[in-house]
Chain A
Amino acid sequence: GGIITQTPKFLIGQEGQKLTLKCQQNFNHDTMYWYRQDSGKGLRLIYYSITENDLQKGDLSEGYDASREKKSSFSLTVTSAQKNEMAVFLCASSIQGRDTQYFGPGTRLLVL
């Protein structure tokens, strides 16, 4: 078994601020994902990384940067937080593209 850890659990930011979310996995999986979860909009892919040092944009990448520092970690940066923004950011990992994705508990973002 393994686990995905996301930090912080809650993140409160100010408009225009750069905010960084972190994800760690100990499954030894090659592929990692960042999703944004909004009520009524499902899970939307922001960035994914097929292997260490790889970065691929998803459908919602504008306004975000990502970094795959090493195989076990994948960070997401909100480049300029939008006022009144509220969402949950989920990190996931899988062995390969068509395998089960294992999700972390999420980071809840609120921008004042």
Chain B
Amino acid sequence: GDSVTQTEGLVTLTEGLPVMLNCTYQSTYSPFLFWYVQHLNEAPKLLLKSFTDNKRPEHQGFHATLHKSSSSFHLQKSSAQLSDSALYYCALSGDTNAYKVIFGKGTHLHVLP
């Protein structure tokens, strides 16, 4: 079945350094991939969503590229900000059941001053 694997646990880095959170997936066909972000005491909200036409989605300085050859959708940002500290989820909507969205276990990003 469909599955999502992302960098687990805590990622700590200093403000200004680049961010990369890994996400790889297993899916039979061509899934849609998402990144959701959850700040402390808030609800998760959509950060990025993959496009069908290979465009690279970008939002708030974050971007992610869907690489079908390596089944990956890594989240990147060139320069981390303190406000980026949050829990990040990679998620997949498969081709066999578009409604059943599979979430990864989440990665905590902690940005230090």
**B44 is contacted by which of A43, A50, A56, A58 (Cβ under 8 Å)?**
A43
A30 nearest CB across to chain B (Å): 10
Interface residue ranges of A14-47 to B (CB < 8 Å):
31, 33, 35, 40-45
Complex contact A96–B105 (CB within 8 A): no
Complex contact B99–A58 (CB within 8 A): no
A105 to B44, CA, bound (A): 8
Is B25 in contact with chain A by the CB < 8 A criterion?
no
Q: Which residues of A contact B93 (CB under 8 A)?
A: 97-98
Q: Which residues of A contact B36 (CB under 8 A)?
A: 101
**B-binding residues in A (CB < 8 A):** 4, 31, 33, 35, 40-45, 48, 50, 56, 58, 90, 96-98, 100-106
- What are 10 A-B pairs with beta-carbon distances under 8 A? A31-B99, A41-B105, A44-B103, A45-B103, A48-B100, A56-B99, A90-B43, A97-B97, A97-B100, A105-B43
